[in-house]
Structure 1
Amino acid sequence: MPNLVRLIIGFAFVGAAVALMFFSFWGWGSLLIFLSILIFVTYFYNENMLIAQWHLRKDNMPKAEKALGKIKSYEKELNRMQHGYYNLLIGLIESRKAPMKSEKYFKLALSLGLHMDHNVALAKLSLAGIAMGKRNKREATMYLAEAKKADKNKLLADQIKQMKDQMGMLDKQQQVRYSR
């Protein structure tokens, strides 16, 4: 449903709810208030993206990909503030199938803007993993430091520590190769 239509329906429900409550139909008015809140939530958070996030948390990639596939043109269907999150979700799905191809989605998500710090940290941590896969230690270290800085609530602290440990092991392997 286009965004403008959602807003019109949401405000129509609010108006109808106020009118019903004015005429003492509190139950119906409350129901319409609840429905209008639901419509406004789907304006700010696209239902297909919410479903995709649910399936990603349940580690069901085919269903998450199918839910995101319902969004044909994200520039037209989503709010400007959702564009980055759409690309972040696509990047997370792609990282399971072809990790090196997901880099462009994470970079695009960061350039379009992610408003929550832990999502910025997740994107930068994923980019650090991709850089490690490419054996680009300097870039991986840079992304890892930025991820640690963005992770203010320490939600990804364990993953960042694991990545640093892997980088340390990679350094030791390279030192052993060069000493031979």
Structure 2
Amino acid sequence: MAQILKGKEVVDAVNEKLRAEVLLLKEKGVTPTLGIIRVGAKVEDVSYEKGAIKCAESIGVDVKKYLFKENITQEQLLNVIAAINLDLTVHGVILFRPLPDHIDDNTIRKALLASKDVDGITDQSMAGVYTGTDLGYPPCTPRACIEILDHYGIDITGKKVAVIGRSLVVGR
């Protein structure tokens, strides 16, 4: 029988847990901080960014924005990523893609440390997913799907599922 899985209940439970974890970190003198790297101002990226900021702030996470015009050079973007990789006050990064055509996505993805790649876009993060190790982070959308299934106690082990789409982050 079909069951409707409502995401709001899951979001509320996850956020409650995260607020508690953030408070513990802050008591230890660490303010969790998300870095957002956006090149250009596509409507959908700006909208997603607003949602990510709202979510982060609602659980007590700070946000540092790195916003650039589309004409940023690849070298300039690589320098920004190198600086973020070294910045101990930035704990995770969302890098909006696709990037403009003059910037090589593979080069940029390889430059970001897997330990800061909270969106699961780096090769190391993907390797962690496929090998079942803690290397990097899994992509957000499939991780959210698993979180919902876990919340409702639905075991998918041995089940047949259909994934529609074949994007690198979700479909594969």
The TM-score by the shorter chain falls in which range? under 0.3
TM-score by length of 1: 0.25
Q: Which has the higher contact order (CA 8 A, sep 6+)?
A: 2
TM-score by length of 2: 0.26
